Structures are given as C-alpha cells and as structure tokens.
Structure 1
Amino acid sequence: MLINELSKKTGLSIHTIRYYENLGMIKGLADEKVKSNNYKHYNNNTIERLEIIIEAREVGFTLAEIKKILTSWFETTESKPETLELFHAKIKEIDDKMRYFKQTKRLLEKVCEKIQNNE
C-alpha cells in the first residue's frame, strides 16, 4: 500500500509517518523497476509497527524507547529482557507520577478548603 492508504488505516498524518520512517522505526520499499517516481510501498507489518508506536506514545514512552521496543520485538530475540526492563522502568515512572499527582491533589484540596472556610 502507498503512504496515503497507510495514513488512512492508521489515522496518522503522512508527515508523521515519514518522520517515523526517517527515524528508522518503519521502512517503505521502493519498486526498483519504476524509476519515474519515489513511491514507497508499505506492508501490513508497517501497520503493526505504527500501532505499537501509537500505543507506546499514548502511555508515555519516548521515541528512543519505542525504537528499542520495535527492534527487540521485530528484529531480535536476545533483547527481550531489555524490553521487559524498559516496561518495568516505565511502570515505575508512572507509579512515581501517580504519587506526585495524588500529593498535589491533596495539597490543592487543602487550599480549596482553606479558601472556602475564609482562612
């Protein structure tokens, strides 16, 4: 499929897909027989990769972390422990943020209470 179809299937803009391709996270294949255009074709594996990128971005992974995940998931079998370690680190990061936000929420609630009581 061409990039415009890939864009429609994933909901990502063509610009974003090209950006991920420039980072080496996905790869399109040019038809070597056709010299008149630079069209690249993408397979279903590319959709799967982009879905992983989308989901990983939603939960807070950086692009560098996502690139490691993609490499581990699709290209090697030896770095699965590294990927698991990366996931555990992200879980810890999320837990830390949750603690921080809960603490901030409690503080704001106290301030609101003081304002309501005219203190």
Structure 2
Amino acid sequence: MKLISQIARETGIPIGTIRFYEKSGLIAGTTKKEVTSNNYVYYDQEVIEKLRFIQMAKAVGFTLAEIKEVIDAWYKKQFNKSAKIEVLNLRLEQIDTKMKELKAMKKQIVLCKYNIENDLSR
C-alpha cells in the first residue's frame, strides 16, 4: 500500500490529477481502519495499473467518460478477452478515421498556404 505522493512519483501523475481521478470514480484508495489519527489514503498496485491505463488511454484519445466505462467493466471482470479486444478494435477504427480527417485537413491547409504564397494578383 502506498500514499498518494508515492504513486505520484512512481507514475509521474501530479497529486491533483490523481485526486481528480479519485473524485471522478476512476480509482479508489482505502484508509486503514485501525488508524484514526489521520486521514491518509492508501493505494494498492491495482490503482497504479489503472493510472497507467488512464495515461495510455488518454494518450490515444479516449475521453475520461470512455476510460471510466472501460475501467469499470475491465476491473470488475465484466469483459471477457474477446470483448476487451472488441473495445480496443473499435477505438483503433476511430483513431484511423480521425487520422484520415486530419490528413484531409492538412492537405487543405497546405493548399491554402500555397495559394497565399503564390498569389499572382499582387
């Protein structure tokens, strides 16, 4: 069991962000029932795994709502292997679509830039 400062160092996620994830229901820590003199919250290895998953999922464009849905099902064992693969395949398709849209946008911007740079009506 680790304190929030320890997992922040280990994961590279700021304490404020970890607290936000906890308030959002993405992760949960526990208090030691036998200790009543402080309000320390302790986090286990599963929380660290979830934080790493959140980082990865955010990096590829998942929203926090999507991440919460996946974490809830994933860690509560509601997804079997094929369902997990299906979720990831769907996200890969969404990423491919977004990449095509971005390439089309880039092409338009390059064309606009070319037209501005080669404006013959000066």
Q: CA RMSD in A?
A: 1.8
One-letter identity of the residue aligned with 2:29 = G
**Distance in 2, Cα, partners of 1:55 & 1:90:** 13
TM-score scaled by length of structure 2: 0.84
Distance, in Å, in 2 between the alignment partners of 1:111 and 1:24 is 45
Give 1:66 shift: 0.9
Aligned partner of residue 16 in structure 1, secondary structure? helix
Alignment map for 1:32-43 (pairs within 5 Å): 32-43=33-44
Task: Tell me the matched-pair count.
Answer: 119
Unaligned 5+ segments in structure 2 are none
- 1:47 aligned to 2:53? no
- In structure 1, the gaps of 5 or more residues are none
Separation in structure 2 between the aligned mates of residue 20 and residue 66 of structure 1, nearest angstrom:
11
Distance 1:26 1:78 in 2: 18
Seq. identity, %:
37
Q: Which residue of 2 aligns with 1:22?
A: 23
Normalising by the residue count of structure 1, what TM-score does the alignment of the two structures yield?
0.86
Counterpart for residue 59 of structure 1: 60
Tell me the equivalent position of 1:91. 92
